[in-house]
A and B are shown apart, each in its own frame.
Chain A
Amino acid sequence: MTDSRNAATLTLDPGGNAPSLLLRGLRKSFGDVVAVDGLDLEVARGECFGLLGPNGAGKTTTIEICEGLTEADAGSVELLGLDWRTGAGELRQRIGVQLQETQFPDKLTVEETLRLFRSFYRRGISVDESVQRAQLEEKRGARVGTLSGGQKQRLAMACALVGDPELLFLDEPTTGLDPQARRHLWNLVDALKQAGRTIILTTHYMEEAERLCDRVAIMDHGRVITQGTTQQLIASLGAEHVVEFAVAERQAGKLDVAPLLAIPGVQSHRVDAGLHQLSVGELHTAVPSIFAALDGQGLELSEFRTHSATLEDVFVSLTGRTLRDE
């Protein structure tokens, strides 16, 4: 079944306009643990696509199947119109890969590492250019062991870019980096987007996905639970704002939610560790009414704040859990 579909795709489209990535019915288990549970995805050329989800959602397994490092139990994987079974050699030349936690040899220099990786590709950019793109000019002759976390991550990125790939996989590129190093790496990704590269990245930072990705898919328990542009996903909440408040401790549990939900513009309510969250459409009309309703119940507030809805809120509303929950 898989084979006939591939054959059909290949005859209809020799690869030129095929999507950069096409996953159909992907499944993968490790023993009893189902890591990927029937996944479908399509990423267009030139898109920056984010795979989002908490740890253990199956993001890394999915991306490693795409990279040809792990074999799926079932389903089909097609990259740039090619298939790992028949076009592995060609695919390796055309994709760039950055894995989670690769440690390059400490005693090689930045330049030596890049020269090594460059030698694996038939075509690509020069070592000079990749040093420059990763903004590692000053560290060119330094040993990898002396680099900071952010610099190491940029080196990993540079190694993924030396072959001038059409399709780039970044697995949690900024995990463990400080905010400055993270912004630095984001700028690198921006430059690649402008150059028209297709980028597929995984992250569990919502703000990273919002900042970088044209489209995102949110994964949980090995499945895609929703996908679309950031704006679409946030709009799907039906409310652009989130009001968070907490009731003084001695009054906890006295809150009656019904009057709050009756306020025009309030879409939903949930409570997490004593913190109440309301999804709200129009802040300026809803907030006074919320205050009035709480006052009417004689409740004293210990906290009150609002923020624009984020992908985090999308995840919370779909799963009832926060992303950082392990």
Chain B
Amino acid sequence: MNRLESSSLFQLTSMRFRLFLREPEAVFWTFIFPILLAVGLGIAFRNRPADVLQVGATTAQLSQALAADKGLTATTMDEAAGTRALATGSILLLAIQRPEGIEYKFDDTNTDARTARLLADRAIQTAAGRREAVRAENQLVHETGARYIDFVVPGLLGMNLMGSAMWGLVFPLVEARQKKLLKRMVASPMPRWQYLASFLLSRLLLLVIEVAVFLGFAGLAFGVPFRGPLWELALLCVLTSVAFSALGLLVSSRARTMEAASGLLNLVMLPMWILSGIFFSASRFPAAIQPLVRALPLTAANDALRGNMLQGMSLGQLAAPVAILLAWAAAAFAVSLRIFRWR
């Protein structure tokens, strides 16, 4: 046996690595799922040349006037059918011909519907002979980095780093405890720290593949920008993964059954899925809960990843989220090593 093979840390780490690769579901969730999600979102939120809004009108004459605007497609329908179409979302606005003039039926809390109201009114007024008071021209700008896909890719990366670190630690650890394997391990001369370290090491190894595949895809397929230094981005990914591994260790430190562990995991991750700005900016939440939102590790991770990728911020400028991640990592490790149940 050579020296590497007789090293218990090497053996433990390669065991983790093998067990992961032999679990097809885990491979899917870690490597394939984030790509599918990015593709799905990329398609759903792709920036169309001009967003054409669906509207309805009660007379053919109105429809004709509306269709004159390139931003609208109009369908003629009676008022009852139009109301149903509105309710199901297949049209955004219904223009109704009344004896005294036009009535617009739409939901004013929907941004697209408000836009449709402006376009529809302009088209109808123009058809009726209104002239512009001031001449206006458009100059169109399509900048990378400001699209939805640019916003969502770092968020998905953060979410994936959280998920793979947490599931990757909690499930094998709790399973090993449940199957009395943990107890068997500590009955051998194995150093306990090596057992836990092997999880971190194999996580970091997988991280390289996982992040490279996902970001490589996002860069090639969507042209998502990488404005900050790549090595700093790598460092942020490692830091995020370490912080969530620590949290995963904490979640798995006492649980004896998978059911208990799953419940705990959801309790920990669900608030972050909602609050931490994966799909929309975390600043949308009311000011009262902002301190809580900002303190969550996933918010910090997403802010740091977006700062690096989209704004090209340096590590120094990202000191606040980095400090939050470090604090979570340190606190979670300290507590879980103290309370970890080895049997």
Contacts and interface: CB of A to CB of B under 8 A. Distances in A.
Nearest to B176: A105
Contact of A112 (B18, B186, B190, B343): B18
A103 B7 contact: no
Contacts of B188: 92, 97, 117, 120-121, 159, 163
Interface of A: 67-69, 89, 92-93, 97, 99-105, 107-108, 112, 115-122, 126, 159, 163
A105 B190 contact: no
Contacts of A103: 179-181
A69 B5 contact: no
B189 A89 contact: yes
Nearest to B342: A69
A154 to B, nearest CB: 15
Contacts of B1: 118, 126
B22 interface: yes
A93 B343 CA distance: 20
A107 B17 CA distance: 11
6 contacts: A69-B343, A92-B187, A93-B189, A103-B181, A105-B15, A120-B189
Interface in B1-26: 1, 5-8, 10-12, 15, 18-19, 22-23
Nearest to A102: B184
A67 B19 CA distance: 28
Nearest to A101: B180
Contacts of B184: 97, 99, 102, 104, 159
A105 B19 contact: yes
B113 to A, nearest CB: 53
B189 A92 contact: yes
B183 A69 contact: yes
Given A67-B187, A69-B343, A89-B189, A112 B180 contact: no
B304 to A, nearest CB: 35
Contact of A69 (B19, B22, B187): B187
Interface of B: 1, 5-8, 10-12, 15, 18-19, 22-23, 176, 179-181, 183-184, 186-190, 343
A108 B19 contact: yes
B186 A69 contact: yes
A121 B180 CA distance: 20
Contacts of B19: 105, 107-108
Contacts of A117: 188
A89 B186 CA distance: 11
A69 B12 CA distance: 21
Contacts of A104: 181, 184
Contacts of B23: 107
Contacts of B7: 119
Given A67-B187, A107-B22, A159-B184, 20 more contacts: A68-B187, A69-B186, A69-B187, A92-B187, A92-B188, A92-B189, A100-B180, A102-B180, A103-B181, A104-B181, A105-B176, A108-B19, A116-B11, A116-B12, A116-B15, A118-B6, A119-B6, A119-B12, A120-B190, A163-B189
Contacts of B183: 69, 99, 102
A105 B189 CA distance: 19
A33 B189 CA distance: 31
A80 to B, nearest CB: 14
A105 B181 contact: yes
Nearest to A113: B15
A13 B186 CA distance: 29
A119 B187 contact: no
Q: Which 10 A-B pairs have the closest CB atoms?
A: A103-B179, A92-B189, A119-B11, A119-B8, A107-B22, A97-B187, A102-B184, A120-B190, A120-B188, A116-B11
A163 B133 CA distance: 93
Given A67-B187, A105-B19, A119 B5 contact: yes
A2 B102 CA distance: 98
A126 B5 CA distance: 12
A29 B5 CA distance: 42
Contacts of A69: 183, 186-187, 343
B1 to A, nearest CB: 8
A50 to B, nearest CB: 20
A199 to B, nearest CB: 16
A7 B183 CA distance: 30
Contacts of A163: 188-189
Contacts of A107: 18-19, 22-23
B172 to A, nearest CB: 9
Nearest to B15: A116
B179 A99 contact: no
B216 to A, nearest CB: 29
A86 to B, nearest CB: 16
A212 to B, nearest CB: 22
A312 B180 CA distance: 31
